[in-house]
Structure 1
Amino acid sequence: MEEETTDVLVVGCGIAGLCAAVTALQQGARVTVLERAPKEDFGGNTRWTEAYMRMKNDAEIADDFAEHFMQNPGANLDPNVERAVTGESTSWPAYVRAHPMPDPEVIFTFADQVPSTISWLKEFGLKFGPQPIYLLTQNTHRIAAQGGGLALIERLNAEVEKLGGEILYETAAHDLIRSEDGTVCGGLCKAADGTALRIRAKSTVLASGGFQGNPEMMARYIGPRASYMRPVARGGYYNRGEGIRMALEAGAAPAGEFSSYHAEPVDPRSQEAEAVVFIYPYGILVNNRGRRFIDEAPGTVDAHYDNISRSFAHQPDGIAWVIFDDQVDDIPRWQSSIRSDIPPVEAPTIAALAEKLGLPVENLTTTVDDFNAACPEIADFTPFEIDNAATRGIEPPKSNWSRPLTRAPFRAYPLISSVCFTFGGLKVNNRAEVVDTEGRTIPGLLAAGETMGIYHQVYTGSTSVLRGAVFGRIAGMTATDSQK
């Protein structure tokens, strides 16, 4: 087995790992970064995202940033836990320090450090501002990185090389090295050719993503419906959960909602990354039995697509269909809500559409007839504003933008529940140190990005890249601080 020694070992080469690596290098540390993917595919999920950020501008977060996390701390949260976290963290009992809920100190540190992290990224020539988005309605502010996530990782990757860091491509960690007292001292790794490598390090940062690329972990934590899912982009296949597994085996506390994930509605026919279809608030969603199963428009699409997309996996064969008609042309730029490169299925009648889709003709025609009869009269259609034009007398209801489907041609896209990233991860404190099941830090071990768990119930939209950048930078600083 080959051996190597470094100051900071970073497992993962996405936004979290690269921010950790550059920060540590700036502090004078020796840094080794592991990347499972080949160089042309490095970057995990970050490579494929447009890197939207829940911010008013590049210096201010959205007003609801921390509030949204606090509104989604986990189902049926114990009031004793809620009461305990209102006091000083030093007085929290062990079960609270290790609780999977989003730690208020972590969330407020996250919110507080976003502006300074963006300012730091701008030092590398990266730019941030308003960018076109596929969501036709929004209830919060967003900006994005110019050039998307690819611009972020390419620039940071170049900075790692410039500062003398080492990046080992096609190399993955599979176990942690621990001393007798439990301190993490690096990792055991394996290259694509099977070469085993022991890397000893003073600090180890786990930034290797979630487990959406690991069918076994998906089935174990998400359940049988995971067989209907796939990662939203190619980068997700490299996220196989070893970082989470290794840390849990070392006694780390789990955090986030392991049985859930951030979902997007994707056309399964498309080979494109993130082939999303967001036109469904202006039509209806049906399953393979030709029946509606959910309120398609409870509010703005950005606030509800996570839950709606997850519901597809609970339908027969894990498939949903969005049905809409030619009235869609009343919606300006509606095509921007669809990123699939495959055209919709079209037909002159609902019955003919059902036949093309392989759906029960009688069921679909009855579903559409019942929906049409339940729609209110709309004097002035306002597609970009909540209009409260709700159906009456049918279940499930549709709360907004309920217009009868009457104008041919009728169109349909198939949709699956596609996984952006999994919610379950490791418990960390506000210094990105991994916490064990007794609420104590594990010496030498840090985590950032999707490997840390903070989401429950509903994803706080446009915060994932920010989470990687902020906690990657914090992890890099903590790792080097501990070595001074």
Structure 2
Amino acid sequence: MIRTYDVIVAGCGIAGLSAAVSAAQGGAKVAVLERAPFEERGGNTRWTEAFLRMKNEHEVSDDFEEHFMANSGFHLDPSLVQETASPYEQWPSIVKSLSFTDPEIVATLAAQAGPTLQWMKQFGVTYSDMASYLITQSTTRISPVGGGWALLEALAKGADELGVEFFYETTAEELIQNEDGRIVGLRATSRESRNHRFMGAVVLACGGFEGNAEMQARYLGPASRYVRPVARGGYYNRGEGIRMGLAVGAAPCGDFTEYHAEPIDPRSGVSEPIVFMFPYGILVDQNGRRFIDEASDAVDAIYENISRVINRLPGGIAYAICDAGLDDVPNWQRTVRTDEKPYQADTLAQLAGQIGVSADNLERTVAEFNAATASGEFKPLEKDGLATRGLQPPKSNWARPIAKPPYRAWPISSANCFTFGGLRCNTSAQVVDHDGRVIPGLYAAGETMGIYYGRYTGATSVLRGAVYGRIAGIHAAENCKAQSAAIPEALP
């Protein structure tokens, strides 16, 4: 079956809906393809708190561009990086297709974040700096009231009112090119057929590959066996958009060997069962030994790296150990969202038996840690410099003896919020090839668009999806109009 539209959007999360709505506002006839059923539409957006790295609903945080560029790639050739000081049109092709965080992409993201948030307000979205599970923070954040679910519902309603057509349980599989190499549509599968054809310009906004075990093993390596998506929506993200783009010659971008990691309780089946209380205790491996500084910075600055380190431990698991002193931390319960109770015991030996680690090792680890703590004022809601002395690895803040029962432990594994690897795009969200040339008719946004390296610039993923989804929709609609205007009217 062949269906013809101006714009085909693969994906129904924040990126896909932003693209669909903006394209429809531009007068385009739009279709949205979504792998999930209606009841579970929305990918990761449906489940996220949707934190936004903003000072307010108009301005990004002060460290926004700085953090991105500090994590723009690894051992980059400085002669190539220097080329980015020139206007984009003058960049050589190898720079336009280089796998690094493009400063033009970041600058556009920063400049368009505020206007995009204002654009979403017309659909009923509101914003707040409401309290979150991050009780210590290194930057500023706001969030939409109602989180990602509210964004999804608001934009989907707007799409419906604009006449956007949705096709659920329909998976984009293969891009269709004409003889000139322009993308003119895609082939999709559904329960009814494995050969649906949707014709039009294509926006790939169907997530990363956190729901694809084969791609994770290929790109992330053997330790990916211990990783699962942080929320149910991630299971629908299986990398088709990335695969399709690469198959037609798209340049890759983003770190294909990494992912945005969160520490979760592996016993829990709820969405995002995070365990963020570990800075106030210690972390031990399956042998009962510490392996990292649990509090080198505010929790929002360190949890990703700690989660990745945990993933590389034997079994991909660690345990957060604390005593009754955790109750001295105001609202610590906000930092734990698992529905499973912690292991609890009156002695460390009993606790070790419950979590399956050596009691002798755990008792020795705690004794060595306690001996290295120092006197000082405990300030749980700010970095207090209350550090260990002469201990490796050290603990830089909130280091107090673990000596007051009951003792508690939470298991922690690493969850995959989203993968970093994706497609290289320009500031119009057009996908480019290995020579830095635009692949006409093809756009990417959200997780399908690669941008992150090293450390994730927290609270920017939803922004990336909204900003570049909107840009993709606007550009695709305008390009469709331009193409139609260029076609001469038939002679009478």
Report the counterpart of residue 372 of structure 2 in structure 1. Answer: 374
Partner of 2:414: 417
Deviation, 1:64, is 0.9
3-state SS in 2 of match to 1:61: coil
The answer to whether residue 240 in structure 2 is matched with residue 242 in structure 1 is yes
Q: What pairs with 1:362-401 in structure 2 (closer than 5 Å)?
A: 362-378=360-376, 380-401=377-398
- AA in 1 matched with 2:17: L
Q: Which amino acid aligns with 1:370?
A: E
CA RMSD of aligned residues (A): 0.9
1:222 paired to 2:220: yes
Counterparts of 1:193 and 1:151, CA distance in 2: 31
User: How far has the Cα of 1:158 moved from its partner?
Assistant: 1.4
CA deviations 1:261-309 (Å, max 9, x no partner) are 0010000111110000100001011111111111111111111111111
| SS of residue in 2 equivalent to 1:53 | coil
3-state SS in 2 of match to 1:237 = helix
Partner of 2:105: 106
3-state secondary structure, aligned to 2:95:
helix
Determine the structure 2 residue equivalent to 1:431: 428
- 1:144-193 per-position Cα deviation (integer Å, ceiling 9, x unaligned): 00111001111111111111111000000110001122111110000134
Q: Which residue of 1 aligns with 2:486?
A: none
Matched residue SS, 2:480: coil
Count of residue pairs brought into register by the alignment:
481
Q: How does 1:230-309 map to 2 (within 5 A)?
A: 230-309=228-307
Equivalent residues in 2 for 1:426-465, closer than 5 Å: 426-465=423-462
Tell me how far apart the structure 2 counterparts of residues 289 and 424 of structure 1 sit (CA, whole Å).
Answer: 33
Give deviations 1:398-425, integer Å, cap 9, x for gaps. Answer: 1111111010000000011000000000
Could you tell which deviates more after superposition, 356-365 or 251-260? 356-365
Secondary structure of 1:415's partner? strand
Task: Give the AA of the match of 2:421.
Answer: G
Mapped to 1, the partners of 2:80 and 2:365 lie a distance apart of 45
Q: Which moved more, 1:251-260 or 1:82-91?
A: 82-91
Partner of 2:179: 180
Cα distance in structure 1, aligned partners of 2:236 and 2:475: 26
What is the alpha-carbon distance in structure 1 between the residues aligned to residue 332 and residue 164 of structure 2? Answer: 45
Q: Which residue of 445, 465, 469 maps to 1:468?
A: 465
* Alignment partner, residue 162 of structure 2: 163
The equivalent of 2:357 in structure 1 is 359
Aligned to 1:429, the other structure's residue is in SS state coil
Measured in 2, the distance between the counterparts of 1:97 and 1:54 equals: 27
Find the residue that maps to 1:52 and give its secondary structure.
coil
Equivalents in 2 of 1:33, 1:425: separation in Å? 20
Q: Unpaired runs of 5+ in structure 1?
A: none
Distance 2:364 2:407 in 1: 15
Q: Partner letter of residue 446 of structure 1?
A: Y
Deviation at 1:195, TM superposition (A): 4.2
**How far apart, in 2, do the equivalents of 1:365 and 1:196 lie?**
62
Percent identity reads 54
Q: What letter matches 2:119 in structure 1?
A: W
Q: Distance in 2 between matches of 1:420 and 1:281?
A: 21
Moved over 4 A (4+): none
Deviations 1:228-284 (A, max 9, x none): 000000000000000000000110010010000001000011111000010000101
Q: CA deviation at 1:76?
A: 1.5
Q: Tell me which amino acid in the other structure corresponds to 1:141.
A: T
- 2:197 maps to 1:198: yes
Q: Give 1:324's match in structure 2, choosing from 310, 322, 325.
A: 322
2-structure distance, mates of 1:184, 1:373: 65
Q: How far apart are 1:107 and its partner, in Å?
A: 0.5
Q: Does 1:138 align with 2:137?
A: yes
Using the alignment, how far apart are the partners of 1:341 and 1:410 within structure 2? 19
What secondary structure, in the 3-state scheme, does the structure 1 residue paired with 2:319 have? strand
Q: TM-score scaled by structure 2?
A: 0.97
2:71 and 2:328 map into 1 onto residues whose CA distance is 35
Name 1:12's counterpart in structure 2. 11
Matched, 1:67 2:66: yes
Distance (whole Å) between structure 1 residues aligned to residue 89 and residue 57 of structure 2 = 34
Alpha-carbon distance in 2 for matches of 1:435, 1:367: 52
Amino acid at match of 2:40: D
Question: How far apart in 2 are the matches of 1:449 and 1:130?
Answer: 23
Deviation of the 1:443 alpha carbon:
0.5
Q: 2:402 aligns to what?
A: 405
Matched letter for residue 410 of structure 1: Y
CA positional deviation for 1:396? 1.2
TM-score by length of 1: 0.98
User: Is this contact kept in 1: 2:378–2:386, CA < 8 A?
Assistant: no
Alpha-carbon separation, structure 2, partners of 1:450 and 1:254: 13
Tell me how far 1:478 sits from its aligned partner: 0.8
d(CA) in 2 for partners of 1:372, 1:192: 60
Q: Distance in 1 between matches of 2:191 and 2:431?
A: 28
Q: Secondary structure at the match of 2:386?
A: coil
Aligned counterparts of 1:61 and 1:52: Cα–Cα separation in 2: 12
Q: Which runs of 5+ in 2 are unaligned?
A: 482-492
Q: Which amino acid aligns with 1:321?
A: Y
Question: Could you tell me how far apart the structure 1 residues matched to 2:76 and 2:293 are?
Answer: 26
